[in-house]
Amino acid sequence: MAIADIFKDRAKSENWQLTDAGKLSQNMIVEADVIIIGTGAGGGVSAEVLSQAGLKVVMIEEGGLFTSDNFNMDELDAYGTLYQEGAGRATKDGAISIFQGRAVGGTTVVNWTSSFRTPTPTLDHWQKHHNVQGFSSDEMAPYFDQMEKRLNVSKWAMPPNANNDILKQGCQAHDWSWAVIPRNVKGCMDLGYCGMGCPANAKQSMLVTTVPEALKNDAQLYYRCSAERLVFSDHKVDSVECLAIGEDGHTPTGVKLTFKAPHIVLSGGAINNPGLLLRSSAPDPHERIGKRTMIHPVNASLARMDQTTNPFYGAPQSIYSDHFQWQTEGDMGFKLEVPPMQPVMGAQIMGLHGFKLADTLKDLSSMQSTIALMRDGFHEESVGGTVELDHGGKPVLDYPVTDYMWNGLRKAHSKMAELQFAAGAKSVMPLHHDATFYSNMKDCQQAINTLPAELHRHRLLTAHLMGGCSMGEDAKESVVNSQGRFHQADNLYVIDGSVFPTSIGANPQLSIYALALKQASALVKTIKQA
Amino acid sequence: MDRRQFLKLGAASSAVLTATSLTAGLSGCSESAPTNGKWQVLREGDRTFLRAVAPVMLKGALPEDTAARQMGIDNMLVYIDTAIFNLGPHNTKQMKELFDLLNFGLSRGLTTGVWSKWDKASEDEIENFLTRWRESSLSLFNLAYNGINKLMCATWYGQPASWDQIGYPGPLYPELLITKPTIS
């Protein structure tokens, strides 16, 4: 096509070692210096660093290999193929929708490109309350610098789309702080379809950066290859047992792959990592695996504007406000951002049917939506959820919503409505089964005060999965140490967002990149010294 | 029906929701597999249910023209089949249990208030069922409503035929960026 598929082209010209496990007809055993399970933000950066050091790296990915020729800005196709459980993943009780990637490149293929450094208060909190060492702002700064350069992170220089501009105007009207979002893009066409895979190869996801670099350095990639079990013996992991997944993306073909290496890196993300460890009956004397899983619970407010907004076009996220993030000690902090609103995303989030749905969606091109990302994990009434296994061995997240969180969600609904009205909204609807559009703040506030704090009626979702293998120096409180080494096995490292002891308080990708660079660089030294 | 009666019925049907779907599955009342090779998940009864409910769920959104409307719903069924399959084996099983419940006479009547078969049910009956599940104080019904609602919203508004009405011109620069059309 007019836009070159750089992955496919380079794979051919550089002779990359790519294996679709689903096409294998017999079992196999693969050996390497390091096995990396997962190819998202954590696994991608780890693969680049370890392969650059001359180590023989094998990457394992349960999702498929999809590249820019497959990315056609088609919501149904993308949600079905690029997301965990066909974008239908949810918490155990079904109340909170979970959007998490599942493909070579992981969630970085479908995220909305917002790239924030880990906030200093978050790093300080880890040091003070979770016994994490080596993660001060000063210690992390060089890793952020390097990853920002590597992935071309810079503040979005083009004007924000209307959806984002309204967030800015609302903040300005209230004198709330706001800023431009840094994005990891190169040659971005300002399309707005980041969530469906970038068709222009502009997003600097792992698919077009670190994974190709690792493959160039003779790493091997096995995709549609699902890690089923780690085999533990004598304080180490002996091997990784995987199942080949057929072309449909879900059905095991019956072929088994066994991977062996002196060092294993687990980078499967915040739900699948604890899931794999639990399925493997990993030693867990203090029962910490899967605990403290954080999600930045998100609620949303919908506004009818007087102007054309076309909220489906343009860089999805370019303005944010942290005005309510660190403001008060007692309340739950939150970040204000906006989501892109293509038709499927827009229609699904409403919770309406019949004429109400049709009438609301008729105004899609003049709608604005604001979201609040609640900062979970910083308060005794917010300790996150727990990953457990269902009867089939699938990991599920049990995530309770406490009164403290409901108060935070209610406050966020108020602030979002205030912002939207100040920016000229004709009417505002907090997304809740019992709400409708309100034409002034007084009525809207009254409704918000009385909306039942009930799951399944209050629209909640998450796209940020963190924790579940939390890090710290105290083995009684954490799963891995500050270097990412599993407390109960010497050769198993967890390198991705699952090690965060709290949520980040910002879209987490850059936090994961910097952490992975730090941990993988240290692992290189450890391996070379041995 | 007053609220107390409704709640009482609600509590009874909540028990039914888990019990009968299980018995329907065990006693062989439910179809175990799609009867036609082209379907991955949806059985004939499931498709009948979806065909009956779609015009009410999407009232005002689906085209007036009979042929266009039929094609929209036909496409929805194909996409719903794929979407449920893509949810993975665990969720697919749960969806099938929900369909069992909806297709088994006694549980359908008790939980939805619709006593006739789906293809004989009136628009009002179906609207009452949707509202009842949406407004129910039982979260299990809210959850089931949300599931069916999301599937139908996604598979209708994912179709280009729906875009004119909502003022969505479609993806930008299709000639340059779309390599192969994936939606017919």
Mutate to test the interface with A, among B62, B81, B172, B180 (most CBs of A within 10 A): B172
- pLDDT tens digits, one per residue of A121-131: 999 999 999 99
Amino acid letter, A281? S
Mean pLDDT, residues A476-487: 98
Please report how many Cα atoms fall inside a 13 Å half-sphere around the Cα of residue B116, on the Cβ side.
10
Chain A residue numbers touching B130 (CB-CB < 8 A) = 353-354
How far apart CA A416 and CA A436 sit, in angstroms, is 15
- For residue A350 the two structure tokens come to 């409403």
Nearest residue in chain B measured CA to CA from A80: B86
- For A194, the 3-state DSSP assignment is helix
Q: Which of B168, B175, B180, B183 is the best residue to mutate to test the A interface, defined by the most A CB atoms within 10 Å of its own CB?
A: B168
Tell me if residue A479 falls in helix, strand or coil: coil
Per-residue CA distances from A378 to A112, A124, A127, A402 (Å) = 25, 12, 13, 13
What is the spatial distance between Cα A227 and Cα A274, in angstroms, rounded to a whole number? 12
Question: What CATH architecture is A6-65+103-111+116-150+205-272+485-529?
Answer: 3-Layer(bba) Sandwich (3.50)
Task: List CB contacts of B28: < 8 A, sequence separation 6 or more.
Answer: none
Tokens (6 digits) for A363: 């105004």
For chains A and B, CB pairs below 8 A equal 170
Band (A391; pLDDT cuts 50, 70, 90) = confident
CB contact under 8 A, A200 and B58: no
Listed in sequence order, the DSSP H helices in A22-73 are 41-52
Q: How confident is the model at residue A392 (pLDDT cuts 50, 70, 90)?
A: confident
Map residue B31 onto helix, strand or coil.
coil
Query: Which segments of chain B have a pLDDT < 70?
Result: 1-36, 181-184
A141 sits in the region (left: phi over 0; alpha: psi -120 to 50; else beta) called: alpha
Q: Are A361 and B173 within 8 A, CB to CB?
A: no
Q: What was the pLDDT predicted at B32?
A: 59
CA distance B64 to chain A (A): 13
CB spacing of B143 vs A72 below 8 angstroms = no
A143-172 pLDDT per residue, tens: 999 999 999 999 999 999 999 999 999 999
pLDDT tens-digit series, residues B127-162? 999 999 999 999 999 999 999 999 999 999 999 999
Contact A392 B89 (CB under 8 A): yes
- CA dist list (Å): B110 to A523, B21, B53, B128: 61, 12, 17, 13
Nearest to A122 by CA among A134, A143, A109, A136: A136
**∠ CA(A124), CA(A130), CA(A132), 5° rounding?**
70
Alpha-carbon gap: B106 to the closest alpha carbon of chain A (Å): 25
Locate the chain A residue with the closest alpha carbon to B150.
A348
Of B60, B156, B6, B139, give the one whose Cα is nearest residue A433: B139
> Measured between beta carbons, which residues in chain B are less than 8 angstroms from residue A456?
139, 142-143, 146
- Looking at residue B12, its pLDDT comes to 47
Q: Which residues of A touch B85 (CB under 8 A)?
A: 86, 248, 250
Pairwise CA distance, residues A108 & A38, whole Å: 12
CB-facing half-sphere around the CA of A107: CA atoms within 13 A: 30
For chain A, helix, strand, coil in percent to 5 are 35, 25, 45
A181/chain B closest Cα distance in angstroms = 23
Q: Two tokens at A384?
A: 């996150």
A270-327 pLDDT tens trace: 999 999 999 999 999 999 999 999 999 999 999 999 999 999 999 999 999 999 999 7
The mean per-residue pLDDT over the stretch A459-468 comes to 97
Could you say which of B134, B143, B172 has the minimum Cβ distance to residue A94? B143
Q: Dump pLDDT digits (tens) for A370-379.
A: 999 999 999 9
Nearest-by-CA chain B residue for A457:
B142
Query: Which residues are within 8 A (CB) of A499 and not within 5 positions of it... i.e. 6 or more apart?
Result: A467, A469, A470, A471, A479, A480, A484, A515
Q: What are the residue boundaries of the structural domains of chain A, listed by start? A: 6-65+103-111+116-150+205-272+485-529, 157-184+297-387+403-462
DSSP 8-state code for residue A19: E
A381, two tokens: 């009434």
The pair of structure tokens assigned to A351 is 């919770």
Is it the case that residue A364 has pLDDT exceeding 80?
Answer: yes
- Provide the token pair at A230: 């780690």
What pLDDT is stored for residue B33 in this prediction?
Answer: 60
**pLDDT value of residue B30:** 53
- Specify the DSSP element, H or E, that contains A370: strand A367-374
Among left, alpha and beta (phi > 0; psi -120 to 50; other), residue A94 is left
- Cβ atoms of A309 and A366 closer than 8 Å: yes
Residue A330 has pLDDT above 50, yes or no: yes
Is 0.90 topped by the overall pTM? Answer: yes
> 3-class DSSP state for residue A461?
strand
Which pLDDT tens digit goes with each residue over A11-57? Answer: 999 999 999 999 999 999 999 999 999 999 999 999 999 999 999 99
Contact, B33 vs B47, CB < 8 A? no
B75 in Cβ contact with B155 (< 8 Å): yes
Residue of A nearest to B123 (CA): A354
Would you say A517 and A123 are in contact if contact means Cβ atoms under 8 Å apart?
no
- Examine the pLDDT at A234 and tell me if it is beyond 60: yes
Mean pLDDT of chain A: 97
pLDDT one-digit tens code per residue, B166-177:
999 999 999 999
Ranges of H-type helices in chain B: 3-26, 44-57, 66-86, 89-103, 105-112, 123-135, 139-157, 174-177
Supply the CATH classification number for the domain A157-184+297-387+403-462.
Answer: 3.30.410
